[in-house]
Amino acid sequence: MSSLPAPLPADHGARVVVRYHGVPEPYASGQQRRDLALLGLRSAADGSAWALQEPFGAFTWFPVNDHPSDEALYDVAITVPKGWAGVAHGTYRGRTEMGRTATYHWKSADPVACYVTLFTVDRYRMYRAKGPRGIPITYWVRREDRWDLPVARRLPELLRWMEQKAGPYPFPSAGLVVTSRSGMETQQMITMGDDFLRPEVVLHELAHHWFGNSVSPRTWRDVWLNEGFAMYFEIQWTADHSPGSMDDHMAEIRSREKAMRKEMGSPGDYRRDWFAGANVYYGPALMLHEIRKRVGDERFFAMTRAWVQEHRNTSQDRASFTAWVNQHTGEDFTELIDTWLDSRASPRGS
């Protein structure tokens, strides 16, 4: 590390250029979830590479304050041999060619948390589509994964469904790249492993664009704000597209939630080694359903839409969420929220 040549004046902008190079290696995180055991950038012998970094791991491939509340704007350029493609978060701005190489350009107009940044290089083919209100969409799929295209192509339909429930999609473009061994809400370009590619999982990652990407968690203690909402919309989508009511579907996850809470602890009790355990998905989704039952469908969804609109590009936590729910409903939900997040045993529903 070198130090600054002169002290910077307080409250003034400064331009900092950091040059770095290297061969990134993934980080062994010690996480219980197997898909999170290795974090950061991974590369294969054939030259392909992909990065997955929730809760952290971006530090393996670029200089960053690897914290969910420290967001930034990004311009990304990835230079690859012709026949290969470089895919990143943000909006695709086209490719330029020089000799035997091609450079892929990506730009984000909204702040991005480093855990939803994306870098992947492979022999992708690009397909274009249009979402609601003309939102440009690109899909990036390798030839051998082309069977996944029909599910990827459901993105416009899933976006429309989410917009009806949660309000306007908060970003200027969307997309999906088939890579990795997991599903991740990488901003404006969802990362989906071949074995995870089902419409309800795509819907879940898309829902994170409202809950997680646009309205971000202040610390990882608030990860239930991401997963509770995404899970809730995933269950609602499933209920709308299969037999059984939303209440039936929620009743079904209740018994599973009990077991998860017993095994992994309460959703509000952050465990460093068990990031994004199933307990932060199901309990908070059930909690949201309890709030909905108390205030009714119309007020619940109006409140949900306003939560995103009013907190766009900000970081939020339990205190601000609780205060906001109380203010919006005129009722005191503090005890209900705290019980669902902190109780060692599964709370009784209404």
Least spacing, CB of residue 226 vs Zn ion, in Å: 6
DSSP code of residue 340: H
Residue 222 or residue 227: which is nearer to Zn ion going by CB? Answer: 227
Residue 140 or residue 275: which is nearer to Zn ion going by CB? Answer: 275
175, 139 contact by CB (below 8 A): yes
Least spacing, CB of residue 118 vs Zn ion, in Å: 15
In the structure, how many helices (H) and strands (E) does the chain have?
Answer: 9, 17
Least spacing, CB of residue 246 vs Zn ion, in Å: 19
For residues 315 and 242, give the distance between their C-alpha atoms in angstroms, rounded to a whole number: 34
Least spacing, CB of residue 174 vs Zn ion, in Å: 16
For residues 79 and 341, give the distance between their C-alpha atoms in angstroms, rounded to a whole number: 45
Least spacing, CB of residue 8 vs Zn ion, in Å: 39
Least spacing, CB of residue 44 vs Zn ion, in Å: 26
Residue 80 or residue 223: which is nearer to Zn ion going by CB? Answer: 223
39, 29 contact by CB (below 8 A): yes
Residue among 267, 175, 190, 255 at smallest CA distance from 226? 267
| Enclosing H/E stretch for 106 | strand 101-107
Query: Assign residue 340 a region: left if phi > 0, alpha if psi is -120 to 50, beta otherwise?
Result: alpha
Residue 139 or residue 211: which is nearer to Zn ion going by CB? Answer: 211
Residue 93 or residue 271: which is nearer to Zn ion going by CB? Answer: 271
Q: What are phi and psi of 95, to 5 degrees?
A: -125, 150
Least spacing, CB of residue 205 vs Zn ion, in Å: 7
Query: Which residue is nearest to Zn ion, using beta carbons?
Result: 230
Residue 206 or residue 230: which is nearer to Zn ion going by CB? Answer: 230
Other C-beta atoms within 10 Å of 257: how many? 23
Residue 92 or residue 281: which is nearer to Zn ion going by CB? Answer: 281
Q: Which residues bind Zn ion (CB under 5 A)?
A: 227, 230
Residue among 222, 252, 340 at smallest CA distance from 290? 340
Tokens of 51: 């990065």
**What DSSP line would sit under 56-90, residue for residue?**
S-GGGTS-----TT-EE--EEEEEEETT-EEEESS
Least spacing, CB of residue 183 vs Zn ion, in Å: 7
| Enclosing H/E stretch for 38 | strand 38-43
Q: Which are the contacts of 265, defined by CB distance < 8 A and separation ≥ 6?
A: 271, 274, 279, 344
- Report in angstroms the alpha-carbon separations of 271 from 5, 57, 223, 265, 279: 41, 17, 11, 9, 11
Residue 66 or residue 227: which is nearer to Zn ion going by CB? Answer: 227
Other C-beta atoms within 10 Å of 126: how many? 15
Beta bridge partners of 140: 126, 177
Least spacing, CB of residue 185 vs Zn ion, in Å: 6
Residue 139 or residue 196: which is nearer to Zn ion going by CB? Answer: 196
